[in-house]
Amino acid sequence: MKPALRLFVTVLLLAALPLLQARQSAGSTRPITIQDLFRIKQVQDPRISPDGQWVAYTVTSTKLAEDKTEDRIWMVPAGGGDAVPLSAEGVSSNHPRWSPDGKWLAFLSARNDGKTQVWLLNRLGGEAQKLTDTPQDVSNFAWSPDSRRLVLVLKDPTPEELQAAKDKSTDQAGDSDDSAKDKKPKTQKPWVIDRLQFKEDTIGYLDRRRTHLYVFDLASKSLTQVTSGDFDDSDPAWSPDGKLLAFVSNRSLPDPDRTYDTNVWMVSADNTDKGAHITQVTANPGEDRSPAWSPDGKEIAYSSQLDPKLFQYATHHIAVVPVPAIGGQPSEARVLTLTLDRNSSDPRFSPDGKSILFIADDDGTQNLLQIDPVTGKITRPIGGRLMLYSFALSKSGEIAADIVTLDRPDEVYTLINGKLDRVTHTNDALMSQLKLSQGEYVSFKSKDGTIVHGYMYKPLDYVPGKRYPTLLRPHGGPVWAYYAEFSHLAQLFAANGYVVLFPNPRGSSGYGEPYCKAIWADWGGKDFQDDMAFVDYAIAQGVADPNKLGVGGWSYGGISTDFIIGQTNRFKAAISGAGASEFISLYGHDQYQRDYYIELGYPWEHKDIWDKLAYFYKVQDIRTPALFMGGNLDVNVPVLGGEQMYQALRALNRTTELVVYPGEYHEFTVPSHLEDRLKRYLAWYNHYVKGDSAPASLPPDTSKIEMKSAD
């Protein structure tokens, strides 16, 4: 399909049309269904124009019949009005970025079965033009301040990619000889491994190809590599004068694969030695990320994790560091958010340079905070019980943000002159049809008196004084949390008559470093107590039926499910997705060799700790009917973990089942697989928790099985 894009003149005409929204009365709403997951459109990555007048963003739609998703770029007036598409249907386009002069909108797209490249749209109108033509995919880019160059993030090309580019060049020159081309099917070559970190989910086996920075000149279309070496470089940021590039890289010696020690570095944007001479900006032994220059170019703000021994359990802070001279040594940094003790990320200087805006993970929410680096005073430009995923600033300080609430999926909001407005209405028509459970943020005491929080959803037919089947859903991570955001899964379970519990036990982010690190090398200890305390709370409130309890989660939520059913038989059913309960067998098979070493030590040196965490060895005590799931390509938490549990329970003649999804990594992407998984969730819980007569196990093909929500 020809990738036609709307003219900006057309945009202005369409903006004058009245907004048509489907409105239905509360009496005609219906429960949410599995199919609604694929009707919900994901709104992401808002980017406000330099003049603060427009917001470009992406909308992801699911086409279940075609088993695929598609991204389109849209635009809406920052002050509110009709949103209009900028990219055509039939081809995915994403990562929109305005040029600093406001004349262009660049974005990423793979068209005509080619590589992902940068495309350019003139704000005055016309179709998008392909800007770059690299042998490999462009994974990221950023505009220079003068709008004349881009910095591209490119992974070293494979020999096959280089050959394809050479063949293409030959064909375009008219010198191709089809008869000379090799028509034989190519045999896949073996992987030769020589790295300590040799696996990564969605990639598989890693080689020595690395990700580096390249400067692309728009006028000459020349490409200059500015970083190199056996390191990965990311997060590029231009200095205000366009002379330097700050970036993030782990260049720790003797081997970056042994640590998470990323630092901020900088390199001349005009260098021609592929970054042989770079300058280190930060020297913190933990993770430093997301560099952002001050408007005067004298300082860089960034996110910094101070304690490398705690790695993921340590709080990320906002810090600033003076920019060193080229070739100089790192200056002493100032950490600004120590007293806040909340994970803080994505710092940006305000246009006047007098404050820094950033996202903070706080108490089951993510808010936009602003700090004065001189006084340390913190305010919340966008606060409340909501989830703010990303934000962008105009040159005059207007803000566009991606915000989710408990009752609404992602939409674009703008903050102009202190007033927060929702300016997109992507899912309004669908949401007006749905009857939703009102998620409640609750607090309760754990076994040792610790205050724990979580979100509770009651069934749509909830009547005070009546008890209902209840599902406990531990979250992934472990360092993550449940937030004040719309959850199709919670709403689906509530629509089918369940109380749903989303706990934030110890190990969760948003409650301070001591709370987070409380499960260090003790998975299934305090977090198990906190999870059980939520169940006890729901029972004490007269909401949960103690005789109809289910549990299940994905990733660390699956690991939690395994250690929960290894310690108690109070649940009538369990579903463990991408879980594990014996970790020595995963060492060297998954991607977490650094994490294991930092937290547990090597298994041959600390077998007692590894065995302590292996609830697999309590499998003989498990009586809970358990369903195990996973993707066959997952190297985050490989399906091996579920296979082991299934095999053991089957050997013990316990009620169990294993479902493996082909071609899936840790996070599923195939719509039909997502649909199938939800159908199996409901069938398993309905049968074993509710006691329904319908079978718990479904046939391999569930495409023709309808799962109806309760009224």
Q: Which residue in the block uniquely carries the two structure tokens 């992974």?
A: 155
The reported pLDDT for the residue numbered 166 is 85
Overall pTM surpassing 0.75 (yes/no): yes
The reported pLDDT for the residue numbered 26 is 44
Question: pLDDT tens across 316-340, in order?
Answer: 999 999 999 999 999 999 999 999 9
The reported pLDDT for the residue numbered 180 is 47
Spatial contact of 47 and 97, defined as CB atoms under 8 Å apart: yes
Strand partners, 300: 293, 321
∠168-171-177 over CA atoms, to 5°? 120
Spatial contact of 404 and 46, defined as CB atoms under 8 Å apart: no
**CATH architecture of the region 435-690:** 3-Layer(aba) Sandwich (3.40)
pLDDT along the chain (711 residues), means of 10: 32 32 58 97 98 97 94 96 91 96 96 90 85 96 98 95 84 58 72 95 94 97 96 98 98 95 97 91 97 98 96 97 94 96 98 98 98 97 98 97 98 97 97 97 98 98 96 97 98 98 98 98 97 98 98 98 98 98 96 97 97 96 98 97 98 98 97 98 98 95 79 46
What secondary structure does DSSP assign to 593-624, as a single string? HHHHHHHH--TTT-HHHHHHT-GGGGGGG--S
Q: How many residues in total does the chain contain?
A: 711
How is residue 167 written in tokens? Answer: 């063949």
Q: How far apart are CA 487 and CA 404, in angstroms?
A: 10
For 214-283, give the secondary structure using H, E and C. EEEECCCCCEEECCCCCCCEEEEEECCCCCEEEEEECCCCCCHHHCCCCEEEEEECCCCCCCCCCEECCC
The reported pLDDT for the residue numbered 114 is 87
The reported pLDDT for the residue numbered 530 is 98
What secondary structure does DSSP assign to 335-394, as a single string? E--TTT-S-EEEEEE-TTSS-EEEEEEETTEEEEEEE-TTT--EEEEE-SS-EEEEEEE-
DSSP state of 148: S
Q: Which residues, other chains included, contact 160 with Cβ-Cβ below 8 Å and sequence gap of 6+?
A: none
The residue extents of the domains of the chain are 435-690
The reported pLDDT for the residue numbered 186 is 75
The reported pLDDT for the residue numbered 181 is 52
